[in-house]
Amino acid sequence: MIYISIIVPVYQAECYIERCLLSLLNQCFTNYEIICIDDGSTDKSAQIIKDFILRYPIIRYYYQPNKGVSAARNLGLSKASGVYVLFVDSDDILKKNAIKALYNKAKKVNAEILIFGGQADKLLLTPDWVKDAFFTKNELYNSNSITALFSASGARPSVCNKLFYKKTLDGLSFPEHISIGEDIAFLFMAFPKAENIVCWSKNIYRYQVSNAASAMNTIEDKRKDFFDNHLKTVEYIIDGWKRLNILDKNKILFIQWMIHFLDYVYISLNEQEKLLFKERLIKVFLQLDITYEETIQHLTYVPEKGTITICKLFNSILHQVKRYGFKFGIKSIIIKLFEHIGV
């Protein structure tokens, strides 16, 4: 019996896939499968994987023409036979014996979604979203999945730090029209289906920050496309939550999240680019019973960078330590100090 299916979308990963697969094989667990979905790679990724298959039959390989990571993961889900599903990107790795630890923990606490910890490969390059994605605390959310989605440590924005009970994902798929934000769109649909969500502080995942070919690095510099995908994500979630009849009772939390999700990209657009999205934004805001003019003020608000005082520094250290733990909290505040002074 297969207990865990690990889905690995692969695109132009010849420099990383061997390291990834070796980490997935460096486990003291036997009842699992590794499903590699080649999303139209033209490099040596396929040959590397096929060479591994000759030695490790738990690896399975499927090819599709280039359709994006969402389509690759969806194909992986359709091929998965495990009780649980784990998503690992082809340039990332798992710690030794992580799979057994995850399975035992999920079984012990009866988790439908088990959120676990991780860290980036290069601390000084770690963006804030990576910190939010991979730094978790020990928390339990039973029958309050929406609270977990908005409040649990590590709940958003990545699917890669979560072990999913596969039956919980029945009927779900990644939105293939979204190329950045597909993880969040998927999580906003998966969490409402889960009764028992557990956060575990164990550090398991290693995220590769420095892959210049990754989606985050190739699209984030195209601000208009980046905002378009963010807005598509909001539109997708609104539509999905309306069908589930959960939008109205969670509208305030959703609006707060949406403004934070959109604002840092929106303020980078020029006036002409902002006009391109005006009609879509008006439609979104109308569905949430908020006005365009008032919400745009929130999206364009830029707080002034004040001077650093001893009190502010102390409070910031407390916040960082509380959120990320002592070791990383101290390192994080040092990095922020350098950013503040422009080093």
Share of the chain above pLDDT 90, in %: 74
Tell whether the model's pLDDT for residue 319 goes beyond 70.
no
> Distance between CA 107 and CA 112 in Å, rounded?
9
CA 79 – CA 263 distance, rounded (Å):
38
Structure tokens at 241: 């939550």
- Mean pLDDT of all residues in 267-277: 94
Q: Is the pLDDT of residue 262 over 80?
A: yes
Cβ neighbours of 194 (radius 10 Å)? 21
Q: Which residue has the higher pLDDT, 8 or 304?
A: 8
How far apart are the C-alpha atoms of 301 and 303, rounded to whole Å?
Answer: 6
Is the separation of the CB atoms in 130 and 209 below 8 Å?
Answer: yes
Q: Find the mean pLDDT for residues 157-163.
A: 96
CA neighbor of 261 nearest in space, from 227, 287, 295: 227
Q: How confident is the model at residue 333 (pLDDT cuts 50, 70, 90)?
A: low
pLDDT the model gives residue 213:
46
Average pLDDT, the chain: 89
Local confidence band at 131 (pLDDT 50, 70, 90 cut-offs) = confident
- Dihedral, CA atoms, 290, 295, 298, 299, nearest 10 degrees? 130
Report whether 25 contacts 93 (CB < 8 A). no
Taking the C-alpha atoms of residue 254 and residue 125, their distance in angstroms, rounded to an integer, is 30
